[in-house]
Amino acid sequence: MHPPISLIVFFLTAGTSIGLFIFTYFIEFLTLFGKGSGLPKEVVLVSGIISLVLIGIGAFAASFHLGHKLRAWKAIKRFRTSWLSREAVFSGAYGFTLLIYLFLMYYEINPFFEHFFGILTFIIGILSGFSTAMIYATNKFVLEWNTSLTVLYYLDMYLMLGSALFTIMSLYYGLPYTGTFVFLTFLFVALGFGFRLAFNIRQFYLKRPTLNEALNLPHNRTIRVLDTGSTTENYCTTEFYYRKGKELLSTTLPISYLLTFIVPLILILYAWITGTVNLYIFWTVYLSLLVGSAVERWTFFVEGNHVQNLFYGLYPEEGYKLRKGFMERKETRISLYN
């Protein structure tokens, strides 16, 4: 699949925004149960403003992916059936409730409403990330994405980015939570590494469809592509298959692993072992995560193979091999009345 840069920017900004707010408000939430003393008002406001600006940048970037930007409001009409619609609604609602929360926090109007909107923003932020992940995970036409690992990894990347940035804020303001968030950053990066590795290993065991299955025919005779149906490039052969990206995949995938997981994990371990937990190291960790995640998202899109590519001779080779499957047990019926 062709990687849309606007959606990659949306992922990075929205992911950092939601991840940062999750950790910021969670500390505030614990004070309701007498756990901890919460965060200084300045830290909450600065963190909230950063989150608000980032989600705004993400929404603006995502608008470039729309064919007709003036019709963007119609996205909410499919809320009951479309994960894309839910993403749009929840992302907008997240920004709106976050703004109200920051307003209540700044003017200290009412603690009850302050926490009410804090909890609401917390939940809506998670639902926004979940909806975005489900857009890909429920896509049955791209088998590489159609797995629960897509959702788990997607949400974990939000926590990776958020915990790394909050650790920087914790170091800058000298908060007592620094050690905890150093550990959480390491934990979520390690989990992300495991999820991404499982995601790639799974691709070796995918049972890819054949042309026989695509045409709803049994496997007793193998169907072959004799003519791709188009002698020139068109929307289907450029957007659903990114040839240049496929050629770069062997380079971008190792780079994404290196920058997203290996470098941050080594730096955090180094900080632990040497006791040099400082801003320089964690800025490097965050920037490595940010650049690595951008490359990883680009790679994620390129790795996707839409089944329509079967008809253009662009699907992975495994899809053309005769394979015994459920189609062999189906009866082929030809009727004029059914």
113 and 206 share a domain? no
Residue 258: give the domain boundaries. Answer: 185-338
Q: Are 286 and 168 in contact (CB under 8 A)?
A: yes
126 and 251 share a domain? no
Write down the pLDDT at residue 195.
Answer: 96
Distance from C-alpha of 184 to C-alpha of 197, rounded to nearest angstrom: 20
Q: What is the pLDDT of residues 240-254, one digit of tens each?
A: 888 888 889 989 999
In a domain, 161, yes or no: no
52 and 200 share a domain? no
Say if residue 272's pLDDT is above 80: yes
Half-sphere exposure of 13 (CA within 13 A, CB side): 21
Q: How far apart are the first and last CA of the chain?
A: 36
Say if residue 336's pLDDT is above 60: no
Q: What is the CA radius of gyration of the chain?
A: 23
Say how many domains are in the chain.
2
Say if residue 333's pLDDT is above 60: no
Q: Give the CA dihedral 119, 135, 16, 285, nearest 10 degrees.
A: 130
Q: Domain end: 117, 138, 159, which one?
A: 138
Q: What is the pLDDT of residues 301-321, one digit of tens each?
A: 999 988 888 888 788 765 545
Say if residue 337's pLDDT is above 70: no
134 and 211 share a domain? no
* Confidence tier at 335 by pLDDT (50, 70, 90): very low
Distance from C-alpha of 162 to C-alpha of 181, rounded to nearest angstrom: 10
330 and 236 share a domain? yes
Write down the pLDDT at residue 324.
Answer: 42
195 and 306 share a domain? yes
Q: What is the pLDDT of residues 5-28, one digit of tens each?
A: 999 999 999 999 999 999 999 999
Helix-strand-coil percent breakdown of the chain, rounded to 5?
75, 0, 25
User: For tokens 């019926």, what's the residue?
Assistant: 333
Identity of the highest mean pLDDT range in 58-72, 92-106, 239-253: 92-106
Q: Are 288 and 264 in contact (CB under 8 A)?
A: yes
In a domain, 226, yes or no: yes
Q: 262: buried, middle or exposed (CB in 10 Å: 19+, 13-18, 0-12)?
A: middle
In a domain, 176, yes or no: no
Residue 231 to residues 103, 228, 240, 313, Cα–Cα distance (Å) = 59, 7, 16, 12
Write down the pLDDT at residue 23.
Answer: 96
95 and 193 share a domain? no
273 and 129 share a domain? no
| pTM for this predicted structure | 0.88
204 and 329 share a domain? yes
Q: 29: buried, middle or exposed (CB in 10 Å: 19+, 13-18, 0-12)?
A: middle
User: For tokens 């990206």, what's the residue?
Assistant: 245
Write down the pLDDT at residue 323.
Answer: 42
Helix and strand counts by DSSP (H, E) for the chain: 11, 0
In a domain, 215, yes or no: yes
Q: Domain end: 115, 138, 161, which one?
A: 138
108 Cβ contact list (under 8 Å, min separation 6)? 114
Q: What is the pLDDT of residues 152-207, one digit of tens each?
A: 999 999 999 999 999 999 999 999 889 999 999 999 999 999 999 999 999 888 88
In a domain, 170, yes or no: no
Write down the pLDDT at residue 328.
Answer: 41
Write down the pLDDT at residue 67.
Answer: 66
215 and 91 share a domain? no
The CA angle 136-139-145, to the nearest 5 degrees, is 55
User: For tokens 């470039």, what's the residue?
Assistant: 64
* Residue 81: other Cβ atoms inside 10 A: 9
In a domain, 171, yes or no: no
Q: Give the CA dihedral 28, 30, 34, 39, nearest 10 degrees.
A: -30
Write down the pLDDT at residue 54.
Answer: 96
* Residue 5: other Cβ atoms inside 10 A: 14
Retrieve residue 228's tokens.
Answer: 């791709």
220 and 336 share a domain? yes
194 and 327 share a domain? yes
In a domain, 157, yes or no: no
Give CA 57 to chain center in angstroms. 16
Q: Domain end: 138, 170, 203, which one?
A: 138
In a domain, 168, yes or no: no
